[in-house]
Amino acid sequence: MLARRLSTAPLDRRRFLFASAGAGAGLIIGFQMLPKLAQGASPAAAALKADPNAFIRIAPDNTVTVICKHIEFGQGSHTGLATIVAEELEADWAQVRTEHAPADAERYNNLHWGPFQGTGGSSAIANSYDQLRHAGAMAKAMLLAAAAQQWNVPAGEIAVAKGRLSHAASGQSASFGELAELAAQQTPPSDVTLKDPKDHSLIGKHAPRVDSKAKTTGQAIYTIDVQRPGMLTALIARPPVFGATLKSFDAAEALQIKGVEEVVAVPQGVAVVARDFWSASKGREALTIEWDESGAETRSTSEILAAYKAMADKPGLVARQDGDSDAALASAASVIEADFEFPFLAHAPMEPMNAVAEITQDGCEIWTGSQLPTGDQMVAAQILGIPPETVKVHTLYAGGSFGRRATPDSDMVSEAVSIAKAIDGHAPVRLLWTREDDVQGGRYRPMYFHRLRAGLDEDGKLVAWQHRIVGQSILKGTPFEGMLVQNGIDQTSVEGANNLPYAIPNTLIDLHTTDVGVPVLWWRAVGSTHTAHSVEIFIDELAEAAGRDPVEFRRELLRDHPRHLGVMELAVEKAGWGEPLPAGKARGIAVHESFASFVAQVVEVSLDGGTPKIERVVCAVDCGRPINPDQIKAQMEGGIGYGLGAILHDEITLDGGRVEQSNFHDYVPLRIEEMPRVEVHIVPSEAAPTGVGEPGTPPIGPAVANALYRLTGERIRSLPLSKHELRGA
């Protein structure tokens, strides 16, 4: 449905561009230069639409503002994007600021996705690197041209460093701010020369986060903090089971609550609109609602799992096939088989979902932590029946997401806008979710069932590999379906399995896509959250069956994959793999590629009573050229902690279709005492930079499971680990 909206509602770009052009504020060069750039720029720059206007604003007060097309929700995107610009611009890091870009599918599109703006798939740095280097270099060239004009000297004689231009022979010098207005009048260069990486002073070095101060003083503004004159707060009572619809409701009692102003039906449920959160919350509790559950998903997770297991007995759609795995299994000396079960997982970011919508005379304004701004813009326009370019999206810092804020149907925004519309737009509406709304609200990492089967020959060589995956499609019915579902195979269901790096002559990876009425969504590292788990545990099992050390076994099978090998060898070396450990401790390893970044982790575990204790994680990452090493480390630390919390504690279960968990007491987050020591080592690389937001998460689960096996002799095949009683072997 959204796909149709996207194709029938083109942005009025010209109008939008002029609307957002500030006047008299330095180097926000007139947007009329766009066509010039497109004609005159180098093919690379033109293709990238490297337009310094879009990404850089230099003000007379000497600040350099990097306009970020990607949301900052913790992953360090704004610091990384600004680092790239500042490097080529030769800005002083202290003068650099960042802000979120407005929604614009042409200027601010994700270059990996086509004409759509969004953050996901660990792509912010990867798709922006060349674009922002060009933008920074062009802005620098225009500052140089301005200085040359003002001082009447050749531009080639002018030096630029740390936010200042200087001409040695004449003794002239000026700050970026002093030259900003004149620079804005220069013709943008048709081509630029980028810095030699050996001269980099920020990229690959340390640039502190741009948001640390605001986020340590309570000053950073998130959606929940937005204040608008006359704003009302709304909570929605949603159906108790997925797919139920509203039959009737009685708001009489709710309307008696002090502060409750209106109660309105919206497509998502019944909204209580009040002067503040507390009134809205009491009002919602006072509602009487009848739901129609006739079309709802009322199965329990145990029933769904049983159905998945039955499906796994039959072949699915083939995602990858090499050689003849059936024949190779039939003639193998030994055949090993293992089943794995994965639960639904909630994202549970710290900031529960929310959005602010204000219907204005000219259209609508939205404030939200928007992971897909142009999608949010289209959805709001559709609900209100107005042109998309009249919907202004203010993207704000988000208190985490882990995928949750990238809903292809813009759930929070559509709710906020629907409520604003239902109250005739007479007040701005701040829609809030509670933690219970979040945990019980669906959009989960899907449940999956995996069956793996492999054959070894007499020499312990791996000759056959079959991997069957059963689970829901994340992308079916979304605008991303055309891009990522091919021949009935949702790539996000099989990623991490169908790009198996191990050299095995006969392989078969197949998929059953299931029909379940629970809304599902991408969750930090998406398919690799389950595929890496089963593959990396199964490889360890096969190594054992072959009588080999897990590292040695992988080393041989990864012979054609130098980057996998590179991270594995680095992690193994730093962790002291093979060196003796005290009694009661064991190591485990996992290696995985996701989003074109390579990560290996070696963990050390022990048992505290029956509870696994993860003591140390040594992580090696190859993400191409490291832009900001400290932020790469931070993302590995965070990815490990996020994955660890999930595999230790978390599952969403349904009983008769009703979610059994509701808040952090039963959907248990990782806490500080469970966080291991983490050492991160970065593989030096000159390859194109790739992302780090997600790739740190997949290896931790299997590395822990492999270590626990060595400690306990027990293979754990279903998650979370808290379901299992563990005893030392």
Environment class of residue 597 by beta-carbon count within 10 Å: exposed (0-12), middle (13-18) or buried (19+)? buried
Half-sphere exposure of 137 (CA within 13 A, CB side): 18
Of residues 354 and 498, the one with the C-beta less far from other proteins: 354
Provide, rounded to whole angstroms, the least separation between the CB of residue 353 and other proteins: 12
Half-sphere exposure of 76 (CA within 13 A, CB side): 25
Site for other proteins in 605-634 (CB under 8 A): 630-631, 634
Of residues 32 and 212, the one with the C-beta less far from other proteins: 212
Distance (Å, whole) CA 119 – CA 522: 12
Q: Is 698 in the site for other proteins (CB under 8 A)?
A: no
Which residues lie closer than 8 Å to 172 by C-beta, 6 or more apart? 147, 151, 153, 166
- Radius of gyration (Cα) for the chain, nearest Å? 27
Q: Is 658 in the site for other proteins (CB under 8 A)?
A: no
Provide, rounded to whole angstroms, the least separation between the CB of residue 400 and other proteins: 4
Cα–Cα separations (whole angstroms), residue 576 to 114, 551, 617, 682: 45, 12, 12, 17
Which token pair is 721? 């680990």
- DSSP alpha helices (H): ranges in 610-698? 629-649
Environment class of residue 181 by beta-carbon count within 10 Å: exposed (0-12), middle (13-18) or buried (19+)? middle
Of residues 434 and 531, the one with the C-beta less far from other proteins: 434
Q: Is 673 in the site for other proteins (CB under 8 A)?
A: yes
Q: Is 208 in the site for other proteins (CB under 8 A)?
A: yes
Of residues 128 and 281, the one with the C-beta less far from other proteins: 281
Q: Is 76 in the site for other proteins (CB under 8 A)?
A: yes
Of residues 139 and 345, the one with the C-beta less far from other proteins: 345
Q: Is 294 in the site for other proteins (CB under 8 A)?
A: no
- Residues 426, 658, 671, 723: which binds other proteins (CB under 8 A)? 671
Question: What are the beta bridge partners of residue 317?
Answer: 511
Of residues 123 and 382, the one with the C-beta less far from other proteins: 123
How do strand 429-432 and strand 232-237 relate by DSSP bridges?
parallel
- Residues 57, 69, 70, 209: which binds other proteins (CB under 8 A)? 209
Exposed e or buried b per residue across 673-703, where buried means at least 16 C-beta atoms within 10 angstroms of its C-beta: ebebebbbbbbebeeebbbbbbbbbbbbbbb
Provide, rounded to whole angstroms, the least separation between the CB of residue 614 and other proteins: 12
Site for other proteins in 677-696 (CB under 8 A): 677-678
Distance (Å, whole) CA 497 – CA 510: 9
Residue 486 near residue 493 (C-beta atoms within 8 A): no
Of residues 181 and 674, the one with the C-beta less far from other proteins: 674
| 467-473-479 Cα angle (round to 5) | 135
- Residues 373, 400, 428, 657: which binds other proteins (CB under 8 A)? 400
Which token pair is 404? 């949750």
- Residues 112, 200, 277, 581: which binds other proteins (CB under 8 A)? 277
Q: Is 229 in the site for other proteins (CB under 8 A)?
A: no
Q: Look at residues 701, 699, 694 and name the one whose alpha carbon lies nearest to residue 670.
A: 701
Q: Is 672 in the site for other proteins (CB under 8 A)?
A: yes
> Of the ranges 48-56, 102-110, 223-231, 295-303, which one interacts with other proteins (CB under 8 A)?
223-231
Q: Which residue has the tokens 């086509």?
A: 114
Q: Is 325 in the site for other proteins (CB under 8 A)?
A: no
Q: Is 402 in the site for other proteins (CB under 8 A)?
A: yes
Q: Is 575 in the site for other proteins (CB under 8 A)?
A: no
Site for other proteins in 410-449 (CB under 8 A): 432, 434-436
Q: Look at residues 155, 158, 193 and name the one whose alpha carbon lies nearest to residue 172.
A: 158
Distance (Å, whole) CA 547 – CA 550: 9
Q: Is 395 in the site for other proteins (CB under 8 A)?
A: no
Q: Is 352 in the site for other proteins (CB under 8 A)?
A: yes
Of residues 378 and 700, the one with the C-beta less far from other proteins: 700
What is the distance in angstroms between the CA of the first residue and the CA of the last residue of the chain? 55
> Of the ranges 328-336, 399-407, 537-545, 568-576, which one interacts with other proteins (CB under 8 A)?
399-407
Provide, rounded to whole angstroms, the least separation between the CB of residue 693 and other proteins: 10
Distance (Å, whole) CA 415 – CA 380: 9
Binding footprint of other proteins on the chain (CB under 8 A) = 73-76, 208-209, 211-222, 224-225, 227, 233, 258, 276-278, 348-352, 397-402, 432, 434-436, 630-631, 634, 637-638, 640-642, 644-645, 663-665, 669-673, 675, 677-678
